[in-house]
């Protein structure tokens, strides 16, 4: 039976690379029915702020699988990236980027047997795009890491390792600094890893991970990490093996998966028939494995390796002197279908198991501690602190400290001369820690503060399971 796939041609050189991938997939004999849909620049310019029309959404819901060319977010149109919108709409929480040395493509790392996969959480973290200008000169971005989202991507990484016969998973975080957000990711990794005793589980600090990717990339097998870190190190990984022109990517969800090239739309090359379609062709290999068309995936992968490694048929991104066209390159790959290489050790792929994750437990013991109030002010720390102490004196709260840019500035530590801005975090604790924190008391405190100062944000402070749910400022006792 034919399988139906949504085909989003994309912007700029997108139609050229998607046509190449489509031709090669069809040449394997796999029966695919393509539903061609729009997203990106053309849609933004029609006035749709998401860049993704309803017809495209309906098609992806129906087919469950999409192959997508690069999308552009034109300056002056739209709000969010259409790429990010697609990932968020369909909860394609797992971004996978295989990083594998391709014989024939010379890099400083040739011969190092680089072969690993970056598994990037794809919908949370700073990419949730929750930002505020809290004052005219201070911007805030919320870094959201959830237990559920962390467990989903971490289990996915271990399941991917099993499906591909890999033996090791590194978890890369900044948990040494971001102890609650990145710390939650690390803790989840440590707990989930117990369910996979056949796979070695290792934690690595993200900056050391980047360092080791440059020094010893061959030590990695699977790297799982949060969204922003994954975005950065996956591009770094691509640079080790030849660049974005050969870098495939998959965005996998529980129900829907989107396969794409990660390079841009390169509008200045549109219509010149010189762009390298290898990245999207490799992405189509990932798509075929997802569809459990393992034989066709192997045919295309081997043909690409033969074309690049034996015939050294390069386009201009890999050989500046090349006169090869996109169309001619596609013809060569089709001609080489069925040819085999011995460049890569054979990997016996299995269907990927997607684990079901339970919803969060709402019965965690908690205790009210206090409240952080964010205030805009041009006063000095001393004047602001005395004012807030006076304001809170007749409430159930006492001022614990004030911080500015994460550093305690009131009470001022001896020898410290802070360079402050106009955004302050005032931390108030309950005077009687045995009493619950009433919302009416919080509202009363904020109302009193608002009579004298501008405030813009509140954060309740709790203890969960006896542990603080908040971090201390630098210098806070």
Query: ω before 411 within 30° of 0 (cis)?
Result: yes
pTM of the model: 0.92
- Digit-coded pLDDT (tens) for 384-415: 999 999 999 999 999 999 999 999 999 988 87
| Mean pLDDT, the chain, whole residue set | 94
DSSP string, 294-343: HHHHHHHHHHHHHHHHTS----TTT-TT----HHHHHHHHHHTTT---SS
**With 70 as the cut, is the pLDDT of residue 78 above it?**
no
Active site residue: 125, 231, 317, 368, which one? 231
pLDDT given for residue 360 in this prediction:
74
Active site residue: 22, 68, 152, 174, which one? 174
Q: How far apart, in whole angstroms, are the C-alpha atoms of residue 198 and residue 162?
A: 9
pLDDT given for residue 307 in this prediction:
96
- Among residues 332, 278, 254, 337, the alpha carbon closest in space to that of 303 is found at 337
- Digit-coded pLDDT (tens) for 8-67: 999 999 999 999 999 999 999 999 999 999 999 989 988 898 899 999 999 999 999 999
Highest mean pLDDT among 84-88, 412-416, 450-454: 450-454
Confidence of residue 74 (pLDDT cuts 50, 70, 90): confident
In a domain, 153, yes or no: no
Average pLDDT estimate for 194-211: 98
Domains: count for the chain: 1
Cβ contacts of 468 within 8 Å, gap of 6 or more: 369, 461
> Domain span at residue 446?
366-468
In a domain, 55, yes or no: no
pLDDT given for residue 1 in this prediction:
79
Q: Is 390 a catalytic residue?
A: no
- Digit-coded pLDDT (tens) for 318-374: 999 999 999 999 999 999 999 999 888 778 888 888 877 877 777 889 999 999 999
Confidence of residue 79 (pLDDT cuts 50, 70, 90): low
Q: Is 198 a catalytic residue?
A: no
In a domain, 207, yes or no: no
In a domain, 438, yes or no: yes
Q: Which two tokens stand for residue 314?
A: 């390069």
In a domain, 347, yes or no: no
pLDDT given for residue 357 in this prediction:
83
Active site residue: 31, 207, 390, 435, which one? 207
Average pLDDT estimate for 201-223: 98
Q: How far apart, in whole angstroms, are the C-alpha atoms of residue 426 and residue 404?
A: 9
Give the CA distances from residue 241 to residues 73, 98, 99, 111, in Å, rounded to whole numbers and listed in that order: 27, 10, 7, 10
Phi and psi (nearest 5°) for 299? Answer: -55, -50
In a domain, 335, yes or no: no
pLDDT given for residue 31 in this prediction:
95
pLDDT given for residue 217 in this prediction:
97
Active site residue: 93, 127, 306, 410, which one? 127
Q: Is 179 a catalytic residue?
A: no
In a domain, 399, yes or no: yes
pLDDT given for residue 201 in this prediction:
98
pLDDT given for residue 77 in this prediction:
62
- Digit-coded pLDDT (tens) for 131-168: 999 999 999 999 999 999 999 999 999 999 999 999 99
Q: Is 174 a catalytic residue?
A: yes
In a domain, 446, yes or no: yes
Average pLDDT estimate for 295-314: 95
pLDDT given for residue 363 in this prediction:
83
Confidence of residue 71 (pLDDT cuts 50, 70, 90): very high
Q: Are 169 and 137 in contact (CB under 8 A)?
A: no
Cβ contacts of 202 within 8 Å, gap of 6 or more: 168, 169, 170, 171
Domain CATH number, residue 445: 3.30.70.1570
Q: How far apart, in whole angstroms, are the C-alpha atoms of residue 436 and residue 456?
A: 24
DSSP string, 346-400: -----PPP----PPPPS---EEEEEEEEEEE--S-HHHHHHHHHHHHTTSSEEEE
């Amino acid at each position: 039976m034919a399988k139906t796939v949504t085909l989003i041609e994309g912007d700029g050189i997108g139609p050229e690379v998607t046509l190449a991938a489509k031709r090669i997939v069809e040449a394997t004999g796999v029966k695919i029915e393509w539903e061609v849909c729009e997203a990106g620049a053309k849609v933004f310019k029609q006035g749709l702020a998401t860049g993704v029309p309803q017809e495209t959404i309906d098609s992806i819901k129906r087919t469950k699988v999409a192959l997508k060319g690069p999308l552009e977010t034109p300056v002056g149109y739209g709000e969010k990236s259409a790429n990010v919108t697609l990932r968020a709409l369909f909860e394609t929480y797992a971004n996978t980027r295989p990083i594998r040395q391709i014989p024939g493509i010379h890099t400083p790392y040739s011969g190092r047997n680089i072969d690993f996969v970056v598994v990037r959480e794809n919908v949370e973290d700073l990419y949730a795009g929750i930002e505020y200008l809290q004052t005219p000169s201070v911007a805030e971005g919320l870094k959201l890491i959830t237990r559920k989202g962390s467990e989903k991507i971490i289990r996915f990484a271990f399941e991917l390792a099993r499906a591909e016969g890999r033996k090791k998973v590194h978890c890369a975080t900044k948990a040494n600094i971001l102890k609650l957000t990145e710390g939650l990711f690390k803790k989840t990794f440590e707990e989930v890893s117990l369910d996979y005793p056949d796979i070695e589980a290792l934690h690595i600090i993200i900056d050391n991970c980047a360092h080791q990717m440059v020094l010893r990339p061959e030590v990695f097998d699977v790297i799982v990490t949060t969204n922003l870190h994954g975005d950065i190190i996956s591009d770094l990984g691509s640079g080790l093996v030849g660049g974005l022109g050969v870098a495939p990517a998959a965005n996998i969800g529980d129900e829907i998966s989107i396969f794409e090239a990660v390079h841009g739309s390169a509008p200045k090359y549109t219509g010149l028939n010189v762009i390298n379609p290898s990245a999207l062709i490799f992405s189509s290999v990932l798509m075929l494995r997802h569809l459990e068309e393992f034989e066709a995936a192997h045919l295309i992968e081997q043909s690409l390796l033969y074309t690049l490694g034996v015939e050294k048929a390069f386009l201009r991104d890999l050989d500046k002197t090349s006169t090869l066209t996109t169309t001619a390159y596609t013809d060569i790959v089709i001609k080489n279908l069925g040819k085999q290489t011995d460049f890569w050790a054979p990997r016996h792929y299995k269907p990927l198991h997607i684990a079901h994750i339970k919803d969060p437990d709402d019965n965690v013991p908690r205790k009210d501690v206090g409240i952080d109030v964010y205030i805009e002010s041009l006063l000095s720390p001393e004047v602001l602190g005395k004012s807030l102490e006076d304001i809170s004196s007749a409430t159930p709260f006492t001022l614990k400290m004030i911080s500015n840019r994460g550093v305690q500035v009131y009470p001022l530590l001896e020898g410290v001369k802070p360079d402050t801005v106009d955004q302050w975090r005032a931390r108030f604790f309950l005077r009687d820690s045995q009493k619950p924190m009433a919302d009416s008391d919080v509202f009363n405190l904020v109302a009193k503060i608002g009579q004298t100062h501008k405030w813009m944000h509140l954060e309740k402070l709790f203890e969960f399971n006896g542990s603080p749910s908040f971090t201390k400022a630098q210098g806070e006792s």
